[in-house]
Amino acid sequence: MTTSGTAVGNGTRRKVTLGTLRSMKAQQVPASFVTAYDYPSAAFAEAANIDMILVGDSGGMTMLGYHNTMPVTMEEMMFFSKAVCRGAKKAFVIGDMPFLSYQLSNKLAMQNAGRFISEAGCDAVKLEGGKRMAKRIRAIADSGVAVMGHLGLTPQSISLAGGYKVYGKTKKEFESLREDAIAVEDAGASFILLEAIPEEPAGYIRESVSIPVYGIGAGKKLDGQLLILHDLIGAFVGDIKPKFAKRYANIGEQITKALLAYGDEVKSGQFPNLEHTYPIEQHELGAIRELVQGA
C-alpha cells in the first residue's frame, strides 16, 4: 500500500467524503481512522489530518466508566456525536448505533440512524452484525444514509459470544464471516469494519467484496486502520487491553503526574502565587480594608 494521495491536497485539506474513501481504496491509500467522543479529541484528530472518526459506543467505557457498551443510550451517543461533529470539520464522521437502537425494527433503525445525520451532523452510521442485520442495513441505506457494517468481534453481542474472542480462526468461522460480508454489501452498506480477525482471513474477506473494508485488530491487508483513541494515547481507565491496541503516548500518566503536582502545591501553599492572582490598586485595597475593618 502507498501512502500518497490522501484527502490533504496542496496543503489544504478537503472534506473526506464517501467518494474520497472509495478513491483512496482504488489508489491503495490506507485510511487513518480513530474513535473520538468529544470536541477537543475531534479537533486534535482534525489537526493530525486523520481521515475518519468513529464516534464509538466504546465511549460508554472510555468516557462514562461503563463495564461494557451495552448500557449506552441514543441520548449519550447524540451528546458525543454532536460534540465530535463540532470539532471535526474535514474528517469523515461515523456515528455508532448503540444497543437496542436498531435491533427492534426497521422503523426504529431508520429513525435513530437519521438522528445521527440530521441532529448530530455525522456522515454515516455503523451497526453490528452480518446476515442477521441485512434488513436493517437495507432499510437505513434506502433512506439515504451510508452504513458501515461491523463484523468479527461485535461488542454488543459479547454475552451471546461468551466474552471477547478472535474470529475467523477456522474454515467454518471464515466462511460465515465471508457470507456476512457479502450479505452486508448486498444489503447496501458502503463499507465494512472487521474486528479481531487474523490478518490473512481478513484480507480474503476484503477481496470478496468491492466496498472499502477497514479493520481494528485485523491486520494490514485492509483499506484502513481503526484504533480506540484512549488506547492509542494511553488514557483508558480499565483492565481491557486488546493485543492490537498500540499505545503511542501515555497521557493518563501525564495527567496523574500533573494532578499530583497541583495537589502538593495547594497543600504546601505554593499555588496560587502572585503570578496567578489578579492585581488591585493600593488605594482601592485601602478603601476596602477600611470598609471591612469599620464594619
- List residues with catalytic annotation: 195
- Residues 6 or more apart from 256 whose CB is under 8 A from it? none
- Residues 6 or more apart from 65 whose CB is under 8 A from it? 237
Query: Hey, how many other C-beta atoms are within 10 angstroms of the C-beta on 221?
Result: 17
Q: At its nearest, how many Å lie between ligand KIV and the CB of residue 4? A: 27
Q: At its nearest, how many Å lie between ligand KIV and the CB of residue 81? A: 12
Nearest to 48 by CA among 63, 26, 62, 33: 33
Compute the chain's Rg from CA coordinates. Answer: 23
Q: At its nearest, how many Å lie between ligand KIV and the CB of residue 99? A: 11
Query: Hey, how many other C-beta atoms are within 10 angstroms of the C-beta on 97?
Result: 28
The residues with which 12 forms a beta bridge, in sequence order, are 9
Residue nearest to ligand KIV (CB): 56
- Residues 6 or more apart from 289 whose CB is under 8 A from it? none
Q: At its nearest, how many Å lie between ligand KIV and the CB of residue 57? A: 4
Decide whether 246 or 257 has the Cβ nearer to ligand KIV.
246
d(Cα 119, Cα 82) in Å, to the nearest integer? 8
3-state secondary structure 110-158: HHHHHHHHHHHCCCEEEEECCHHHHHHHHHHHHCCCEEEEEEECCHHHH
Binding footprint of ligand KIV on the chain (CB under 6 A):
35, 54, 56-58, 96, 155, 193, 195, 216, 226, 228
Decide whether 57 or 185 has the Cβ nearer to ligand KIV.
57
CA atoms within 13 A on the CB side of 129: 20
Helix (H) or strand (E) holding 215: strand 213-216
Decide whether 46 or 57 has the Cβ nearer to ligand KIV.
57
Q: At its nearest, how many Å lie between ligand KIV and the CB of residue 54? A: 6
Decide whether 33 or 107 has the Cβ nearer to ligand KIV.
33
Decide whether 5 or 99 has the Cβ nearer to ligand KIV.
99
Query: Hey, how many other C-beta atoms are within 10 angstroms of the C-beta on 25?
Result: 21
Q: At its nearest, how many Å lie between ligand KIV and the CB of residue 80? A: 10
Decide whether 80 or 174 has the Cβ nearer to ligand KIV.
80
To which residue does cell 475518519 refer?
52
